[in-house]
Amino acid sequence: MLAECIATREGILEYPQPDGTIRRELVTRAAVLDTARTLPRSPMTLHHPKTGFVTTDSVKDDGTGDVDGDATVEEDAQGSFVRVKVALRRQDAIDAFNEGVKEVSCGYAVALDDTPGEHPIFGRYDARQVGRDCNHLAQVPEGRAGSTVSLRTDSADAAGRYATTPPPPREKHMNPTLAALLTALGVERLDNEGTALQSGIAAVKTLRNDADEKATAEAEADKAKTDAEAMTEELEKAKTDRDACQAKLDKLQGEFDALQAKFTKAEKADKDRKDAAELADLQKLADKVNVKHDALDLPALRLAIAKTRVDSVTDESSAGYVDGILDSIRKDSGKRDPRYDGLRNDDPNRIDGATTPADDPWLANNRASKEG
């Protein structure tokens, strides 16, 4: 369904306040020009969205049509106004039009100048609308303006009524008690009793839903508290078990440390014994190869004996290399000097197996003849 409408114009927008007073905002030519610039291609809605603005996520539910791509700014005796063409593309919007819902209201963010003044045509005003950024155009039963904050969306059900003189008292000023109740429920616009009651009903439903959600949240919180207490008991038990296990572990560690100390002591004693035996053995070998050993410890003695065979051996040589040299010296020191074989006889003073004068007094006593 195609239609044409005046979307906005210069003039005074009236905003009834909860205390019964009227706030008058002047729509300036600048706000009209901003409307013409930002309203084209905006979505149409049936009433204003509850969230205030149409978004890319909500347009599938809120959008009932669209504004044409062109908007014209025209003039009359009362100033500038914006004329647009629209398309209603959803059946409920078309049905509402046929039932008399034919007025429109721009949903927009607005910049306000709160300085009061007097317009030569429209009279006294409390603030001036100096800029707009349109979001949508709502199809509403009765025109009315938005909130009075400095930057806001027109979340009411209409664009407002324009007047050139202060308005007379109107029947839509509802019972003060009802107005106070609706205000307590968060209803901001009270200039239309039917619309205000609808907003109040929606607020009550919201409060009821909030109460249900709160009750659910409290139940979940109680369950979470019970679960937490149970987990705390389990944790305490686990800590007790852990402490018992730690005590057993400490006892076993102490026993292990004692055994380790005994093993280390026995290992050291065994090494000392082996070192002493090796030292005694090497001292004998040193005597055979004429190495003085009285002031030498085991490592020094090993090196001194090895040097009698290999001059290049040092204390940086590997133990295996030194052991090989010492084994070779041991084997050679046990061989009989072939020069002595011819002197063997049945002399009872001869020591069998002796190879050097140091081993056999007989050889020492007969050294001259042997060498001869």
Largest distance between two CA atoms of the chain: 163
Lowest-pLDDT choice from 16-20, 248-252, 293-297, 314-318? 16-20
d(CA 10, CA 130): 11
CB-CB contact of 139 with 93 (8 Å): yes
Residue 114 located in a structural domain: yes
CB-CB contact of 110 with 151 (8 Å): yes
Q: What are phi and psi of 128, to 5 degrees?
A: -125, 130
CB-CB contact of 326 with 283 (8 Å): no
CB-CB contact of 176 with 193 (8 Å): no
Q: What is the DSSP letter of 352?
A: T
Residue 223 located in a structural domain: no
Residue 190 located in a structural domain: no
Residue 232 located in a structural domain: no
Residue 77 located in a structural domain: yes
Domain assignment of residue 366, given as a range: 276-371
Q: Across the chain, what does the average pLDDT equal?
A: 81
d(CA 229, CA 222): 11
Lowest-pLDDT choice from 28-32, 69-73, 147-151, 236-240? 147-151
Q: Are residues 164 and 28 in the same domain?
A: yes
Q: Are residues 11 and 147 in the same domain?
A: yes
Residue 285 pLDDT > 60:
yes
Residue 37 located in a structural domain: yes
Overall number of domains in the chain: 2
Q: Are residues 287 and 164 in the same domain?
A: no
Residue 79 pLDDT > 80:
yes
Q: Are residues 38 and 162 in the same domain?
A: yes
Decide: helix, strand or coil at residue 281.
helix
Query: 27: which strand partners?
Result: 11, 129
Q: Which of 113, 141, 172 is the last residue of a domain?
A: 172
Q: Which of 172, 199, 230 is the last residue of a domain?
A: 172
Q: Which of 172, 202, 223 is the last residue of a domain?
A: 172
Sign of CA dihedral 293, 299, 300, 306: positive
CB-CB contact of 75 with 18 (8 Å): no
- 322-348 pLDDT, tens digit per residue, is 999 999 988 887 665 544 444 444 455
Which of the two residues, 295 and 369, has the higher pLDDT score? 295
Residue 227 located in a structural domain: no
Residue 103 located in a structural domain: yes
Q: Are residues 161 and 299 in the same domain?
A: no
Residue 276 pLDDT > 80:
yes
